[in-house]
Structure 1
Amino acid sequence: MKKSSHLLVTVLALAMILAACKPGTSNFQGTVTATPKIIQSSVDQTPTTTKMPEINMDPKDLSGVQITYLHPWAGESGRIMNLLVDEFNQSNEWGINVLIEQPGSTSLAIQQLRSVEIGTVSLAVLPAYELVYQDQTLNEVVDLNPFAASSKVGFSKDERADFHPVFWNENLVDGKLYGIPAEASAALMFYNATWAEELGFASLPKTSTAFRLQTCAANAIFRKDTDRFNDGLGGWIISSDADTLFSWLSVFGAIKPVVPIEKFNIDSAKKTFEYLFNLQASSCAWSGRIPEPYDYFANRQALIYSGYSQDILLQSAAFMRSGIEDVWQVMAYPGGDDTAVLTRGLAYGIFKSDAKTELASWLFIRWLSQPVNQARMLQVTGALPLGEEVMAYMSSFEENYPQWKDSLSLLSNAKMITAQANLGIIRMVLGDAGTFLFKPEFTAEGIPDLLYQLDQTIKELANRTP
């Protein structure tokens, strides 16, 4: 296992290139219908006690100001965002012009931002941890507290209160507001309730023991037939994605979502990895040859898989292709009734520049944050609503995607992984460690050393000069 440190670093370089945002496929629907309120998270909003300086520049002085906007969306979601930019350019009363930089994914956006000259990009859509990293190492990120609180150009009291606390607070680190929520997602599990009932299970698996029991039962069905080539199918589709591993680590108490992550070489992380290793060793978890899980799930080759809110749209399409009319739903990871649902998001962040460019960037963010504009993106990404007001535009979408509507009830237990400058490194190296954990040649005896190398690799990469 001493090779693992070198291999972790090697795969890490590939991970930065391969990560990408998943575009949705639905069309915007503008029907305004009242819908039930979203259940609010238990995470408290952090009050701002210090009086904010007022933004004194007059927006009327911004005519002709040009800003460069870097965003990660591609496909249909990229097209809709670019249409929004065009609308803003044509209609904003201040004469601001927005130029688009569209590399095609979050990882590519991060790469581009880290490689261009400082000052080239005015504002960008990035994970909160990358904004913290940028602020500490490369580009100074503007504190948006004064803009958001401004009586002249800020959010109204109702607009500010509408943002779901867990999404807003992800961008609030040590009192500094690094960004405004642009997109939010949750790490979820997809569960075939019809098939589970046929296997004898009337309810969701809410504990790790129940999860193992149900996935192993699904695999046992394939072992009973005469086709030996399908003996590994049926259970949970293995995922070494960082959010999947974070969620399992949270189930076993190895991480606390609102506390900065310090190390993984601890007993509870060891128990997490042993549990996952044994799931695979018992054929209750399996790796697909195709990276996307949608058709496997729709064709009853997997009882459960790990995914995100955005996967609901793609999974619905897969069931339509299959013609199978099973009832399926999304669920939290099996940590009990109060298990945390881990969320992650993208945020609009502004980089330090001159006062006119910063104000112009803020006014563009404020416009994009209007519920009607949020809805246009939401209906093609399938992400989570950032607040309640956007739901007035989502009634038809809810009808078409009932699992998406049902997933909103899980927001009552939504928690975030605390943004810290090295979280990008942690995510990539953790995913790499997960890849090693599920390799056929890996043994349970190697888990302690894998966790040790995981911590050491994170430290080594975090200490390198950007």
Structure 2
Amino acid sequence: MDRILSTMIFSSIKHTEKNKKSSHKDRKIISLGIEIVGLLILSFLIVSCQPVSTVIPTSKVTETPKPSATLRNTPIPTATATATQQPDWWLSGEDLKGVKVAVLHPWSGDLAKKMDELVGQFNRDNEWDILVSATGTGSAQQVFQKSETGISIGSGPQVVIAPVEELAYWFKSGSLKTLDEFVNDSIYGMDAAVQSDFFSQFWQQDVVNDQRLGIPASRDIHFLFYNQTWANELGFTAPPATTTQFMTQSCSASASLLNDKTRDNDGTGGWIINRNEYVLISWLRGFGIADFPVDEKVYEFDQKQTIAAFEYLRKMYDDNCSWISRNPTPYEYFAGRQALFISGDLNDLNPQISAMDILQNEDQWLVIPYPSQNGDPVVISQGSSYGIIRSTKAQELASWLFIRWMNEPQQQKALAKENSDLPVSKQLIEEFTKSRDGKWADVATLLKAVQPSPRTSEWRVARFVLPDAFYQSIQTIILPVQFTAIVEMLDETVRSLSNQPASSGW
């Protein structure tokens, strides 16, 4: 994919640098009719003068809802006379007996095992005898690809755990059911206490076009690792808040290694270049690019702020203040003082701790937000959410009941314990911050600055194209004056691919 997009963008740069009377009988009929009308009016007036009698309607006997001894005490709905019309999706509890629901999730290992345990518990205990099966694919990309295949042949799944931009894609194509009516229903809805406990930025991230597409399952955030001890030795007393300060510290680290007696570390020392899409979004937000849309409309990366960010990162590279590592992971470089900064997320915490131990490095290091031009911290969040693929009414409602159950506090906590990502409830975030080791307390402080990653279907494509555009910008044969053409081609490529059906590689 990178090679194809690279060819498209690079080749473009090279070519543009291009609607009767009545009979006697009729009159008799009319006269008779007038007499009849007169009698009817007289009768009405007589009746109107009589006392009014009140009729008390007889209420119908309804079956008393049977409380559930398991899960949430939701009564099985019964057919009763009501002045409120039920929504189109509404079914009684009897309609849900034995309904099967297939779930696709991206997890593996202990997290997948815990998901299987929870599914088994739901199957044993739920009052509707709904039967759920769960399949772990090992990655979000596999969830998307297998779901696309199932949707195309009408074989499910019914529940997906996927990023919101993919839920937005399925909604745009008519394959995803919105959840607002489920969430707010008086019988089947989600408890207000559960809703209010979601971390607000995570809860709102699943709303597109004012419609709820998903329920958050987990979230990750993106930040920088910073060697505080080494920075202090270089003369810096605080982590960088602005992009200028970041460059200064990076260049100083690079210069210190260039001027030491070890030649093998020459060209290292600053920030290790990272082409991850959320890393790049962090830098772009740091330079003030426009807010990402919350409805389905075209987003243009062709902004002066994008160009400024590309120019900044290119200068960092040209001045040897950032560098490209050979190893696929940066942990040893950071532990070995070959990088003052590296980009990371929650999944990188434990490997970095291990690397420091292996190299017996006792330096103090921090997790810090990305810098910005004005000094405001930048922390981008993204992750997976529960969504419902359109199927039968019974399967859709059954799917919702499973999702609702999974988001009750006990189930949330059981799953979050096995997940390296952040839990999505405020209560669990606070609890985990106190009980988990490592850098979790530092991570919790970053949540004050968190902002969501793009949520519309366009990002499903743009997240692949943006890293390639950045890659072009750091090629030495590309001049900064060509960055505008690169960004224009980025937007053109995203528009073109967004209007095409998803292929197996996306």
The alpha carbon displacement at 1:74 in A equals 2.2
- Are 2:495 and 1:459 aligned? yes
Cα distance between partner residues in 2 of 1:440 and 1:293: 23
Name the structure 2 match of 1:384: 422
Q: 3-state SS of the aligned residue for 1:381?
A: coil
Q: 3-state SS of the aligned residue for 1:310?
A: helix
The alpha carbon displacement at 1:318 in A equals 2.4
- Are 2:373 and 1:328 aligned? no
Corresponding residue pairs, total: 421
Amino acid in the other structure paired with 2:404: R
Q: Is the 1:52–1:149 Cα contact (8 Å) retained in structure 2?
A: no
Asked which structure has the greater RCO (Cα within 8 Å, sep 6+), the reply is 1
Gaps of 5+ in 1: 11-50
- Are 2:63 and 1:63 aligned? no
- Are 2:129 and 1:95 aligned? yes
Given candidates 272, 289, 314, the residue that maps to 2:326 is 289
- Are 2:140 and 1:106 aligned? yes
1:114-171 CA-partner distances (Å, limit 9, x unpaired):
222234210101111111111112x521111111112222221111111111111111
Equivalent positions of 1:291-310 (< 5 A) are: 291-310=328-347
Given candidates 254, 268, 272, the residue that maps to 1:237 is 272
Equivalent positions of 1:38-57 (< 5 A) are: 53=87, 56-57=90-91
Distance change >3 Å, CA 441–CA 88, structure 1 → 2: farther
The alpha carbon displacement at 1:7 in A equals 2.0
- Are 2:194 and 1:156 aligned? no
RMSD: 2.5
The alpha carbon displacement at 1:298 in A equals 2.1
Distance change >3 Å, CA 437–CA 71, structure 1 → 2: same
Q: 3-state SS of the aligned residue for 2:344?
A: strand
Cα distance between partner residues in 2 of 1:52 and 1:349: 23
Q: Is the 2:278–2:453 Cα contact (8 Å) retained in structure 1?
A: no
Q: Which structure would you say has the larger Rg?
A: 2
Given candidates 271, 274, 299, the residue that maps to 2:311 is 274
TM-score (norm 1): 0.84
Distance change >3 Å, CA 318–CA 61, structure 1 → 2: farther
- Are 2:459 and 1:430 aligned? no
Given candidates 389, 396, 420, the residue that maps to 1:351 is 389
Q: 3-state SS of the aligned residue for 1:88?
A: helix
Equivalent positions of 1:407-418 (< 5 A) are: 407-418=443-454
Distance change >3 Å, CA 383–CA 232, structure 1 → 2: same
- Are 2:249 and 1:187 aligned? no
Q: Is the 2:102–2:134 Cα contact (8 Å) retained in structure 1?
A: yes
The alpha carbon displacement at 1:98 in A equals 1.5
1:232-284 CA-partner distances (Å, limit 9, x unpaired):
11111111111111111111112324566622222211110010011111111
- State the identity %: 33
1:33-65 CA-partner distances (Å, limit 9, x unpaired):
xxxxxxxxxxxxxxxxxx995974334543322
Distance change >3 Å, CA 221–CA 60, structure 1 → 2: farther
Q: Is the 1:122–1:351 Cα contact (8 Å) retained in structure 2?
A: yes
Name the structure 2 match of 1:222: 257
The alpha carbon displacement at 1:314 in A equals 2.7
Cα distance between partner residues in 2 of 1:320 and 1:7: 43
Cα distance between partner residues in 1 of 2:307 and 2:475: 17
1:297-316 CA-partner distances (Å, limit 9, x unpaired):
22222111112233223322
Given candidates 103, 125, 129, the residue that maps to 2:165 is 129
User: Which 10-residue stretch deviates more, 81-90 or 215-224?
Assistant: 81-90
Distance change >3 Å, CA 316–CA 357, structure 1 → 2: same
Distance change >3 Å, CA 357–CA 250, structure 1 → 2: same
Q: Is the 2:277–2:464 Cα contact (8 Å) retained in structure 1?
A: yes
- Are 2:140 and 1:115 aligned? no
Amino acid in the other structure paired with 2:171: D
User: Which 10-residue stretch deviates more, 382-391 or 255-264?
Assistant: 255-264
User: Which 10-residue stretch deviates more, 434-443 or 211-220?
Assistant: 434-443
Cα distance between partner residues in 2 of 1:221 and 1:55: 66
Name the structure 2 match of 1:20: none
Cα distance between partner residues in 2 of 1:217 and 1:297: 16
Amino acid in the other structure paired with 1:298: A
Q: Is the 1:249–1:255 Cα contact (8 Å) retained in structure 2?
A: no
Distance change >3 Å, CA 97–CA 287, structure 1 → 2: same
Amino acid in the other structure paired with 2:130: I
The alpha carbon displacement at 1:450 in A equals 1.4
Name the structure 2 match of 1:368: 406
User: Which 10-residue stretch deviates more, 213-222 or 225-234?
Assistant: 225-234
Amino acid in the other structure paired with 2:382: R
Q: 3-state SS of the aligned residue for 2:137?
A: coil
Amino acid in the other structure paired with 1:385: P
1:308-335 CA-partner distances (Å, limit 9, x unpaired):
2332233223223332122211111111
Q: 3-state SS of the aligned residue for 2:341?
A: strand
Name the structure 2 match of 1:27: none
Q: 3-state SS of the aligned residue for 1:125?
A: strand
Q: Is the 2:215–2:387 Cα contact (8 Å) retained in structure 1?
A: yes
Q: 3-state SS of the aligned residue for 2:424?
A: coil
The alpha carbon displacement at 1:95 in A equals 2.0
Q: 3-state SS of the aligned residue for 2:217?
A: strand
Cα distance between partner residues in 2 of 1:440 and 1:166: 39
Name the structure 2 match of 1:15: none
Distance change >3 Å, CA 444–CA 133, structure 1 → 2: same
Amino acid in the other structure paired with 1:111: Q
Name the structure 1 match of 2:7: 7
Q: Is the 2:156–2:389 Cα contact (8 Å) retained in structure 1?
A: no
TM-score (norm 2): 0.77
